[in-house]
Structure 1
Amino acid sequence: MRHRIGTMTALALAAVAASPAPAGDVRSTKHNLSVSGPGTIVSDTESRVCVFCHTPHNAQPAVPLWNHATSGATYSTYSSSTLTVTTPLPQPTGASKLCLSCHDGTVALGQTVNDGLIGLLNTGPGGVMPAGPSNLGVDLADDHPVSFQPNPSNTETKDPPPGDPVSLDDAGEVQCTSCHEPHTEDIDPVTRKFLVKVNQGSAICLTCHQKDYWETNPSSHQSSTATYTSSNGAHTGYTTVQDNGCESCHRPHTGGEPQRLLKFVEEATCDQCHNGSVATFDISAEFGKAYSHPTFDTTPSVHDAAESPTSSSNPLPEVDPGAARHAECADCHNPHAAYSQSATAPDVTGATSGVWGIDSSGALVDPARFEYEICYKCHADSANKPQESGLPNPPYTNRAIVQFNVRLEFDPGNPSYHPVEAAGKNPNVPSLIPPYTTSSIIRCTDCHNNDTGPGAGGSGPNGPHGSAYNHLLERRLDTGDGNTGNNFDAMYALCFKCHDRASIMGNQSFKKHRLHIDGENASCTVCHDPHGVSATQGNATENSHLINFDVDIVSPSNSGQLRFEDRGVFHGACFLTCHGKNHDPKTY
């Protein structure tokens, strides 16, 4: 009986070798290493197709019918700061161990258990897999993890549904065969990567991964039909952002940035499309302006997706005063959530949807609801402020009250503040240009933005990526003293975006405005602190109307006082010395 089974098996294998190979048959794939194989790596003598992996007798003791010699290598396994399963991950087992007997490049492709070494053409040294994407090596840190059970508590992953071609093995573990069918190369005829089903729109990835916002917003990266091909960085064969899906940004094998399997180091992944070649706007060019967020010029990347106030290894806000100031794309944008959607201030727009932030009390909020909460991640309680000297940032205004925590500056409990968190306190602001009123709320990006963007009347991209003006201001704002000339519209363009020049120069709210600006060539910032004055340092009498003097220009009066005194609507007194004139006080 045993002889009869062996004879029948031999006849079956012979029939496999002799009959033509239909589409979807292992014989028509690169895994056919026999003389009839269609690939470049083939035998010049062996006609049997299955023998390189399988044998009916004398197989590997641990694996039924397995004929290929297994690797004894020890592998570096995948790890990341956002992985929710126990690390380090175990060494590959099961089907993955079998796949790696060829794909780790340590064992000759023709090295069988039952038939010895079968010679093959066009292999690497020693008959191994040649260098290239199919040779994963023993460092699997840049490959999708295998031989582990998914964490059921992770709400952004799920087990494949029963009957789906994507499946876990009998032990409930992810293996190479969860995604790959080794006998059929062209189930997905576009990629031809032995996938278990068509992966258009990353259907395989989405069988297990259910990223928040991806389909519910939906993310522009999920829905965009913009052309994205190999010339832009695509590697799947699909030709739009939507069809490439997850693999527009990720590679399941040999990821350029191993953690999270990004195709390139963070901003370089974004740059492949957002340099104007795929996306509408060239965001990359914005970072080449005189002033920009330190995204490309802080290397190596210092962002980590696990950053949060509760992380001991990756704290944000920063706790180290010497930490490099940095801002990666993912600090402000969630690529799984970002989409085109406008919003009323102070709410986040679609571009910043799904990003965590710091609320007005200094607590973590996820996701951020208001734009300023995203800015507060770095510009509020971080210990490494202000930005160190030597970077492309001019000196800060030297104020009587020094404060670099913008969360404290915008606190609605302050004596005065620009209305970012809440409407302002002053009901009498005659200079406001409609539609602004004293009940209006503005965004950080109403002042800090692209100088050629829509807010500045240009056609460039929106957002504070870069600007020709210091402090990433959308428009010019000269500071200090000695601003000669009558080109006030240009010198104070940022202030005049919301405040009517004619009202200011007509002294509608302060009878000496014109004298200070035109007669004494003083900037708005000599007297006014644009963000606000913290209640922890100032008071309603001396710091209403954003009064916080530039002490490089304003000094104490002859009586030793340096303060403003609010004396009611459009009335006050100044105790100071300015331009050589003693105010002790000057009233209006």
Structure 2
Amino acid sequence: MTRRHGRIIGFATAALATPVWAQLGRSVVDTPHNLAASGPGVIRATTEEQVCIFCHTPHNAAPIQPLWNRDLPVSGYTVYSSSALDARPGQPTGASKMCLSCHDGTIALGSVVSRDQIIQMAGGVMTLPPGHANLGTDLSDDHPISFRYDATLVGRDPKLTDPAALPLALERDHNAELQCTTCHEAHDNRFGHFLVADNTNSALCRACHQISTTTIDAHMGCASCHQPHSAPSGPFLLRQHHVTATCTGCHDGSHPGAADILADLDRVSSHDTDRPVDPPDPIPGHSTCTDCHDAHTMEPGHADPPGLHPSLGRVGGVTA
């Protein structure tokens, strides 16, 4: 059991300590995860006033720590996969499956083990409504979970931080697996999105992902090009449905300082770039921005032949 899960048990049994939690600034009471009738979120119960009951119960719990009060989903999931992923995620396990008991939208929010009847939610809501919080059972467009993050994985992908050097806030489970709870703390929303740490300047992302640096401001933040959940591209978790569309989201002539690449792509002689991300086989005649440019290492400036133009970055397969 992790330190964070140890705190969960304390929350579940200390119903009279609500004012203290609020003073600490780590209270689930003041977050959208408070589904009680008095909760601050849009989704809440009609009359149920217990806060912890939607996830925990001190008695007659499911045989799952920490005093879990929900059935776990049994449906199969489509998990994330891409040619760039060295890990091999399987079906969700551990704490991630607990999160998915609400966030995959297959089990009623008010369905708890300790009650014979489903707790009724305001407005007749049963499961999480469609939206960013409802991930569904297709997790192929979400950051991978339930895989071992260990020295072996880092040996295959040197752009990952050695697990021994990870910040204490980023906890893996007892199997050294990365779970939803590695990045999210269900009881504390001080950083937004229930993140375990401040993600200003992509600090949380960079705690694991040791990408190279660039001085181009628009390329510094991971969220400029990527989104960790419900990403339109699926593989690579891009903000648009393919690489070129992601790049031309800025490089379309409407952003000062960003080259207008979209105008070049409208020419008769341009490459075909409008194809799916990460195809299983090479596509004849297809090219995309990242074939020549590495957004993580490219720099402004010029270079005389045979030097490499700094806008290429350290893209693979290109040498002076």
TM range (shorter): 0.7 to 0.9
Amino acid at match of 1:164: L
In structure 1, distance between residues paired with 2:12 and 2:184: 28
Question: Corresponding residue for 2:293?
Answer: 333
Aligned residue pairs: how many? 302
Alpha carbons 1:142, 1:255 under 8 Å: kept: yes
RMSD of equivalent CA atoms: 2.4
In structure 2, relative to structure 1, the CA distance for the partners of 1:168 and 1:160 (3 Å cut) is farther
Q: Which residue of 2 aligns with 1:181?
A: 185
- The 8 Å contact of residues 12 and 56 in structure 2, kept in 1 or not, is answered as no
Instruction: Write the mapping of 1:494-513 to structure 2, written as runs, cut at 5 A.
Output: none
Q: Report what 2:43 is aligned to.
A: 41
CA distance in 2, matches of 1:11, 1:172: 28
**Structure 1 position 369, deviation (Å):** 2.3
Once residues 11 and 56 of structure 1 are traced to their aligned partners in structure 2, the CA distance between those partners, rounded to angstroms, is 6
* Bigger radius of gyration among the two: 1
1:282 aligns with 2:260: yes
Mapped to 2, the partners of 1:10 and 1:196 lie a distance apart of 20
CA contact (8 A) 1:52 1:112 kept: yes
* 2:311 matched residue in structure 1: 351
Structure 1 CA distance, aligned partners of 2:77 and 2:41?
28
1:172 aligns with 2:176: yes
Verify the 8 A CA contact 1:340 1:351 in the aligned structure 2: yes
Deviations 1:293-344 (A, max 9, x none): 332xxx434x649xxxxxxx646xxxxxxx5312211111111111113223
Task: Using the TM superposition, give the Cα deviation of residue 290 of structure 1 relative to its aligned residue in structure 2, in angstroms.
Answer: 3.8
Aligned residue in 1 for 2:130: 131
3-state SS in 1 of match to 2:244: helix
- CA distance 1:203–1:11, change in 2 (3 Å): closer
Q: Which residue in the other structure is 1:156 paired with?
A: 159
Q: Runs of 5+ in structure 2 lacking a partner? A: 1-9
Alignment correspondent of 1:488: none
Name whichever structure is richer in helix by fraction: 2
Choose the corresponding residue for 2:269, options 291, 298, 304: 291
Q: CA–CA distance in 2 between the matches of 1:113 and 1:170?
A: 25
Pairing partner for 1:78 from 77, 80, 89: 80
2:201 aligns to what SS in structure 1?
A: helix
SS in 2 for 1:291: coil
Give the corresponding residue for 1:463: none
Asked if structure 2 preserves the Cα contact closer than 8 Å seen for 1:147 and 1:173, the reply is yes
Taking structure 1 as reference, are residues 246 and 348 closer, same or farther at Cα in structure 2, changes over 3 Å only? same
Q: Structure 2: how far apart are the matches of 1:275 and 1:49? A: 48
Contact 1:160-1:168 within 8 A present in 2 as well: no
State the SS of the aligned residue for 2:207.
helix
TM-score (norm 2): 0.87
Identify the range of structure 1 (72-81 vs 163-172) with the bigger mean alpha-carbon deviation: 163-172
> Which stretch has the larger CA shift, 66-75 or 139-148?
66-75
CA contact (8 A) 1:142 1:257 kept: yes
Counterpart for residue 233 of structure 1: none
Shift of 1:24: 3.4
Q: Tell me how far apart the structure 2 counterparts of residues 200 and 257 of structure 1 sit (CA, whole Å).
A: 24
What percentage of aligned pairs have identical amino acids? Answer: 41
Q: Which has the higher contact order (CA 8 A, sep 6+)?
A: 2
Equivalents in 1 of 2:107, 2:195: separation in Å? Answer: 24
Aligned partners of 2:22 and 2:29 also within 8 Å: yes
Matched residue of 2:194: which SS?
A: coil
- Specify the alignment match of 1:118 in structure 2: 119
Matched, 1:95 2:95: yes
The residue number in structure 1 matching 2:4 is none
The corresponding residue for 2:237 is 261
TM-score normalised per structure 1: 0.49
Cα separation, partners in 2 of 1:40 and 1:304, compared to 1, 3 Å: closer
Work out whether residues 37 and 47 of structure 2, in 8 Å CA contact, stay in contact via their aligned partners in 1. Answer: yes
User: Where does the alignment leave 5 or more consecutive residues of structure 1 unmatched?
Assistant: 1-7, 227-240, 306-312, 316-322, 358-367, 371-588
> Counterparts of 1:204 and 1:123 in 2: how far apart (Å)?
37
State the 1:111 CA deviation: 0.8
One-letter code aligned to 2:264:
E
1:300 counterpart = 2:275: yes
Distance 1:123 1:170 in 2: 38
Q: Which residue of 2 aligns with 1:141?
A: 140
Cα distance in structure 2, aligned partners of 1:270 and 1:249: 8
Q: Please say if residues 266 and 329 of structure 1, whose CA atoms lie closer than 8 Å, have aligned partners that are also in contact.
A: yes
